Amino acid sequence: MNKLLLIIQREYFSRVKKKSFILMTILGPLLMAGVLIVPVWLAMRDKTDHQVLVLDHSGLFIEKLTNTSQIKFTYGAESIASAKLKLKDGPFDLIMEIKGDALNDEKTTPVLYYKKQPGISTEQYITNQMENILFDYRLQGDSIDIRKIDKARRQVQLLTLKVTENGTDEKTNTEVNMAIGFGCAIAIYFMIFLYGSQVMRGVIEEKSNRIVEVIISSVKPFQLMLGKILGVALVGLTQFILWIILTLVLQTAITKFLFKDEIADKVKQNSQIEKVMKNDLTADITTLEKVETPNEAIALFNDLDKVNFSQIIICFAFFFLFGYLLYAALFAAIGSAVDNEADTQQFILPVTIPLILSFIIAQNIIKDPDSSMAQFFSIFPLTSPIVMMVRLPFGVPMWELLLSMFMLIIGFLFFTWLAGKIYRTGILMYGKKTTWKELGKWLFYKG
């Protein structure tokens, strides 16, 4: 046991003292906080306004196109040549020319001139507006009452409510759950590869430098392999804990700085709703203050508040740790079977196939998180670290979660035992290309 602890200590401190570890520990939270916050902030702030000059030779669309907060339509009658001068010098940044026979054309093709490329959402909005106007004109031509059709049209907005075990309703957001699940799965995928490959490279380096021959004279091969795996696992766990702490600190600080107006509006809105819900006689519902924050921003904050982050963080730590231990044992076995890193390619692919398969399966899990396929692969040890993390935000029965954890521990013990049989033989093999047939023989060597 003392020898195993010495190996773990050596592997741990030799890595945490490296500049690369310190640098990644600092940069990791910055990157994660940036990935979580900056896209949302940019999406809310970076909305380009477009001034569109419409040259409608058909006369069908004049004063018919609806303005939005980002797209403003102005109608003109000049030639396209003179209009382009306004595009060059301002104030317009888009010119749309519509030919005269737009109503009779089977496929209307307006021309959009621009100085800077408009976004796909702008183009789609203009196209939808024109299609709706042409639709109404053609219905009028067939003597169909448009008002009846407009009255018959109804928008449907699906509200998803999860019924909890105590019978209460809980609002859910599929997009938020999907983003959290995939984010955790991708993080586990990269961390397994990052730390697993460190174990493999460490084994190859010691083997090629013949250091391992000296070490093996003092400890058993299995102890050496297990010590390397656990030592690097502690490095990953240390970095993970530091990342969580620093990310939460940074995210809180950055969120309060970037979204201070949104948070203030959210608190104000919630307090007003709370007063009304409590039937506070002093609160007059007609005097509720108007909040300026977009509804989608407040809805996003409310949806994030409902996510059980404590459960996700605990499960993430567990599935990362034991997922890494399982795959690190296989990476260590690969490192012991080859003399240099170039020879590892033939063995790495079969090991990584379950991880790649997990992401393919994850796309179907989003469609049906409780399907038989989702349940099986979230329990199967080689795929459960990724598949279970994708399912978890959608809600997983406790018995399935515990069974998945139990099977992952059993899988780790089995594959570590299997990898140890390969490691004890391969670590002292030099100058020979190892084949799958050779690996099979090593599994049955005794002694």
Q: For residue 254, is pLDDT > 80?
A: no
Q: How far apart are CA 161 and CA 163, in angstroms?
A: 6
Q: For residue 273, is pLDDT > 60?
A: no
**Domain boundaries of the chain, sorted by first residue:** 2-32+173-442, 50-152
Q: How far is CA 74 from CA 66, 71, 166, 357, in A?
A: 11, 10, 57, 53
- For the stretch 297-340, pLDDT in tens is 545 555 555 666 778 888 888 998 899 889 988 888 888 888 77
Q: For residue 285, is pLDDT > 50?
A: no
pLDDT of amino acid 403: 94
pLDDT of amino acid 39: 61
Structure-model confidence comparison of residues 276 and 350, the more confident one:
350
Low-confidence winner among 118-122, 139-143, 297-301, 406-410 (lowest mean pLDDT): 297-301
pLDDT band, residue 447 (cuts 50/70/90): low
Angle between helix axes 384-391 and 398-426 (nearest 10 degrees) is: 160
Q: 94-98 and 111-114: which strand pairing?
A: antiparallel
pLDDT of amino acid 42: 61
pLDDT of amino acid 409: 93
pLDDT of amino acid 234: 87
* DSSP run (H or E) holding 175: helix 174-208
- For the stretch 419-437, pLDDT in tens is 888 887 777 777 677 777 7
Q: What is the pTM of this model?
A: 0.64
Low-confidence winner among 95-109, 188-202, 277-291, 413-427 (lowest mean pLDDT): 277-291
Q: How far apart are CA 344 and CA 369, in angstroms?
A: 35
**The pair of three-digit structure tokens given for residue 403, joined into one six-digit string:** 């069974």
Tally: H helices and E strands in the chain = 16, 6
Percent of the chain with pLDDT over 70: 72
Peptide bond into 91 cis (omega under 30): yes
Q: What mean pLDDT is reported for the chain? A: 76
pLDDT of amino acid 142: 65
- For the stretch 157-182, pLDDT in tens is 666 666 656 656 555 666 777 777 78
Strand partners, 171: 161
**The pair of three-digit structure tokens given for residue 137, joined into one six-digit string:** 């004109």
pLDDT of amino acid 164: 59
Q: How far apart are CA 204 and CA 133, in angstroms?
A: 69
The residue among 392, 418, 420 whose CA lies nearest residue 405 is: 392
Q: What share of the chain is helix, strand, coil (3-state, %, to 5)?
A: 70, 5, 25
Backbone angles phi, psi at 95, to 5 degrees: -125, 125
> b/e per residue, 255-279, with b = 16+ CB within 10 A?
beebbeebbebbeebeebeebeeee
Structure-token match 């970076």, residue found: 46
pLDDT of amino acid 288: 44
Structure-token match 């709370």, residue found: 274
Q: Report how far Cα 307 is from the mean position of its chain's Cα atoms.
A: 15
The residue among 398, 389, 391 whose CA lies nearest residue 369 is: 391
Low-confidence winner among 75-79, 277-281, 324-328, 379-383 (lowest mean pLDDT): 277-281
**Class in CATH terms, 50-152:** alpha beta
- For the stretch 105-126, pLDDT in tens is 666 678 888 877 777 778 888 8
pLDDT of amino acid 172: 61
Q: How far apart are CA 328 and CA 197, in angstroms?
A: 8
Q: How far apart are CA 79 and CA 224, in angstroms?
A: 82
User: How confident is the model over 266-286, as a mean pLDDT?
Assistant: 52
Residue type, 61: F
